[in-house]
Amino acid sequence: MNGTVVTFYSYKGGVGRSFTLANVALLLARWGFRVLTIDWDLEAPGLHHYFGKLLPKSPKGGVVDLAHDFLAGAERPADHALRLELEDGVVALLAAGRDDSDYTGRVQGIDWEDLYQRGFAGFLERCRAEWTENYDFVLIDSRTGISDIGGICTAHLPDQLVVLFTANRQSVEGVVDIARRANDARDRMPYDRPPHLVLPVLSRLDNRVEYERAEAWQQLCAEATAPLFRNWLAKSVTQDLMLRHLTVPYVSYWSFGEQLPVLEERTPSSDQISFALETVAAVVAQQFDRTDLLADNRDAYVAAARTQRRSYNLDLLVSIARPEPLAATELIRELAAQGLQVDRSLSGDPEFLELTGDPAKHLCLVVDGEVSRWQATEAERFLRHALDADSDRRLFCVLTRRTYPEQLPTFLRNLRLFKLDAHTRPRQVARELYEIMKKAPSGRADSERAALQDAGAALRAVPANVTHIGRWALIEQTVTDMTTALDHGDMALLKDLTVDLEQLNHVRANGSHCPAPEGLRPRIGELLARIDRRTEVSTK
């Protein structure tokens, strides 16, 4: 499946467009997507500043060079992109061009109208085809205002637009007008481009001090951007609520320099800027879909985006010391005989630490005497990724005969340890590891799914009639409390209330038949729909 091209656009400068794009790119990469970022703001390029510490070297070419390549007769685009040096994920940068004294002249020497008359549109189509073949998302940083370059970025190339604006009329009305112009231009193009999906993002809203004014402007912006929501927002979700989810707050700490808060705020709270950036990235990752789930539970929505692309080439990676102990060789052979996809990682092998993704779902350390520095690094890296994913991934620790548990690092001593000795052979350990890895997980996701399924069953079992009107009052209050528990993600409370509802559902015949009060059935139906959506997400 081809990748998606998303242009980040703002009518005015200073709204945090490049900042948002750079951070969203890193989040998408962390979640398993391959991302290409393109700096098409040729008059004021900036993405290379955000990615400066992550670039292996200064860009030697970029978008400007694509135009000059075409003028030189190139049939296909040269590879001017640089891959960032990331711990996890794939992000490449196609910069505006080489940052030297000749750059300004090279930019000013490009006549875009003349390029298109010479057939540059076809060349760009070939560029686009290569980008979308090699990457899941292509994020373009567009120039502000109305320009020829802006038309390329907003009309010709993208599948989707992310338009950023601040709380003033010029900014918000400008992005709405540009979105309309871009769709009109697409209708006149010879390429098959459907109408845009446009994601409005209210940026740099300071609602901590001027709360009342921020509320008023939030409402004004929701009304002004209403046309942008029409072809993708779920009918049950209001524009005002969705824009609140798509608001990136002003946080003074991040207003200095070109910074990447998502690298520091790995598990952000709701008052941190990375929390809002995660929401924007999740909408992009899910192709603007399932917004009813976002309205119901933002954390579940982001979790679904975070895990939808996670896959592994191996079931188990076995980390072994140098020289390799004989017991490790036997263990790997026995694990493979069990049908597992397994490979070894030699301690000290730099290729493992250079991986941008995780090659295996589980990691097994075979410790021979003591844990090497490299094995400790492998284990710590694995644990950090596994905790971020909130998954059922496992770290195993297998000890040879000459390894003593009390000499292990603290974080390994807390694990279940497997000992290879005269009484326990590699085949036995391999069988135990296999059974643990293949057993159905019993983590938080499964507990939540069970709670949701039980709650749904209890709600469907609410009878048509009960024997006393007072019982309906109790059922109605329980349904209200279950809704509140779901709002707050309190699965323990939802379980308790489900038991209460199950008891209330038991009708004892005494000849009386009291029907449900008006409005209760629709409320039960709405709650059931929410629970079904949550159950679907926890199953994926």
**The pLDDT value given to residue 222:** 96
pLDDT tens sequence across 191-226: 666 788 999 999 999 887 788 899 999 999 999 999
User: Per-residue confidence at 5, pLDDT binned at 50, 70, 90?
Assistant: very high
Ramachandran quadrant class, 89 (left: phi over 0; alpha: psi -120 to 50; beta: rest)? left
User: Per-residue confidence at 437, pLDDT binned at 50, 70, 90?
Assistant: confident
459 close to 531: Cβ distance less than 8 angstroms: yes
Across the range 125-146, mean pLDDT stands at 91
**The pLDDT value given to residue 465:** 87
Name the average pLDDT for the chain.
86
Residue 366 bridge partners (DSSP): 398
Across the range 20-32, mean pLDDT stands at 96
User: Per-residue confidence at 390, pLDDT binned at 50, 70, 90?
Assistant: very low
**The pLDDT value given to residue 356:** 45
Q: Does residue 123 register a pLDDT over 90? A: yes
Q: What is the DSSP letter of 138?
A: E
| pTM greater than the 0.85 cutoff | no
pLDDT tens sequence across 312-361: 788 999 998 877 788 888 999 999 988 899 998 865 555 554 554 567 88
Query: Which strands form 342-346's sheet, in the order they lie side by side?
Result: 342-346, 314-320, 360-367, 395-399, 417-419
Q: Does residue 242 register a pLDDT over 70? A: yes
User: Per-residue confidence at 1, pLDDT binned at 50, 70, 90?
Assistant: low
Lookup: tokens for 147? 């320009």
Please name the residues in contact with 468: beta carbons below 8 A apart, sequence gap of 6 or more. Answer: 512, 514
Q: Does residue 2 register a pLDDT over 50? A: yes
